[in-house]
Structure 1
Amino acid sequence: MKIQVSNLVTGITDEDLRMLFECFGEVASVEMGGTPGGALIEMLDKKAAKEAIAGLNGQNLKGSDLAVGEGSKRPANNFRRGKKPHRRGRRR
């Protein structure tokens, strides 16, 4: 399960976040820098991820209160690029 972390101060490393989240369960990956002051954490166990969200949201880390929540999946690309819409019947 992916977890979005924001409101990180400069100087926090991916290793800092890994150690923090490993208190709740196994961390598969830590991606820093997707957004300024943000990171994406992936945990293998969904239950552990939910416990981490509940336990760390609002907690202070190096002088800043963390905003921790479920990571969102990318929306599906439903646009029909380059295709003309289907027309019914004949055009007169």
Structure 2
Amino acid sequence: MKVSVSNLAGEVTEDDLRQLFELFGSVTSVTMHRSGARCIVDMPSRSAAKEAISGLAGQELLGHEMEIEVAREPGKGGGGGRGGKRRGRRR
């Protein structure tokens, strides 16, 4: 299960987050976003991920209160419609 972590201090590293989340179970991967203020932590156990979310939400890490939630899966892009009525040229 993927967990989204945001509002991170710029100094936080992947290792910091891995160690923190491993208190709740195994961690498959930690992916930092370019801004450094967000990351995705992937945990193979759904129950461990939920425990981590409830245990760490609102906790401070290097002076920043972390925001933690289940990561949203990217939606499937549906095809666009053809739009509204097709109007021909009036004669």
Using structure 1 for the length normalisation, give the TM-score.
0.84
Corresponding residue for residue 47 of structure 2: 47
Question: CA separation in 2, counterparts of 1:4 and 1:31?
Answer: 10
C-alpha change, 1:56 and 1:39, in structure 2 (3 Å) is same
Amino acid at match of 2:40: L
| Unmatched 5+ stretches in structure 2 | 84-91
RMSD in angstroms over aligned alpha carbons? 1.7
2:24 is the alignment partner of 1:19: no
Runs of 4+ deviating beyond 6 Å = none
Question: CA separation in 1, counterparts of 2:35 and 2:27?
Answer: 20
Q: Give the C-alpha shift of residue 77 in structure 1.
A: 1.1
- Per-residue CA deviation, residues 27-57 of structure 1 (Å, 9 max, x unaligned), is 0000001555100000010000000000000
Identity %: 39
Corresponding residue for residue 90 of structure 1: none
Residue correspondences, number = 83
Using structure 2 for the length normalisation, give the TM-score.
0.84
